[in-house]
């Protein structure tokens, strides 16, 4: 798991954003299962209500959820972690980075559509500008083929 840079030791945060879809929890479970495969990530934290949960330090640990429960979550419609439509600006991102530093978050996975993709981009760019080492990933939650720079999205092979 690398974007050309060294793998960072630390924790991962996963958030779900935008409108809930029938497959948004499939995306969540896919990220959790992949991160549990020995990536060096210590904790997998789900943030309640996306970026608004981050600034409230409102997390649930996901790394030890049993596989059968993850399967039930994957097949449940709606957003298991809760959603938000907050779109962070520079000040909002400063609050995110403060929490990320306290929680040693080095990986940020943001599940959603176009606005969520843009939020992920904003967080990534501001992290870079502030010298905070973070790997940010947008994870599609729907069958949107209009998402920028995506080869394919869930349900559309």
Task: Report pLDDT digits (tens) over 30-82.
Answer: 999 999 987 779 999 999 999 999 999 999 999 999 999 999 999 998 899 99
pLDDT in tens, 85-126: 888 887 888 899 889 999 999 999 999 888 888 888 888 888
CATH number at residue 74: 3.40.50.450
What is the C-alpha separation between 28 and 30, in angstroms, rounded?
Answer: 5
Q: Is residue 112 domain-resident?
A: yes
Q: Is the pLDDT of residue 156 over 50?
A: yes
Q: Is residue 143 scored above 70 in pLDDT?
A: no
Q: Which domain holds residue 81?
A: 16-140
Asked if residue 147 is part of any domain, the answer here is: no
Task: State the Rg of the chain over Cα.
Answer: 14
Tell me the C-alpha distance between 127 and 65, whole Å: 30
In-domain check, residue 132: yes
Kindly state whether residue 154 falls inside one of the protein's structural domains.
no
Residue 53 lies in a domain: yes
Residue 2 lies in a domain: no
- Residue 6 maps to a domain: no
Number of domains within the chain: 1
Catalytic-labelled residue, pool 98, 118, 144, 146: 144
Is pLDDT at 4 greater than 60 in this prediction?
no
Phi-psi region of 39 (alpha: psi -120 to 50; beta: other; left: phi over 0): alpha
Prediction pTM value:
0.86
Closest among 106, 119, 126, 118 to 13, alpha carbons compared: 106
Q: Is 144 a catalytic residue?
A: yes
- Pairing relation of β-strands 59-61 and 10-16? unpaired
Confidence (pLDDT) at 126: 86
Q: Is residue 25 part of a domain?
A: yes
């Amino acid at each position: 798991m690398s974007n050309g840079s060294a793998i960072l030791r630390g924790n991962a945060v996963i958030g779900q954003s935008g409108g809930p879809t029938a497959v948004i929890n499939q995306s969540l479970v896919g990220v959790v299962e992949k991160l549990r495969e020995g990536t060096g990530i210590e904790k997998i934290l789900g943030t309640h209500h996306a970026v608004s949960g981050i600034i409230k330090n409102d997390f649930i640990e996901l790394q030890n959820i049993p596989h059968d429960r993850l399967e039930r979550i994957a097949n449940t419609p709606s957003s298991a972690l809760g959603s938000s439509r907050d779109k962070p600006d520079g000040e909002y991102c400063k609050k995110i980075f403060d929490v990320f530093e306290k929680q040693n978050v080095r990986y940020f996975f943001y599940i959603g559509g176009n606005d969520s993709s843009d939020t992920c981009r904003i967080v990534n760019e501001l992290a870079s500008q502030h010298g905070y080492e973070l790997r940010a990933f947008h994870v599609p939650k729907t069958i949107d083929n209009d998402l920028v720079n995506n080869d394919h999205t869930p349900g559309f092979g």
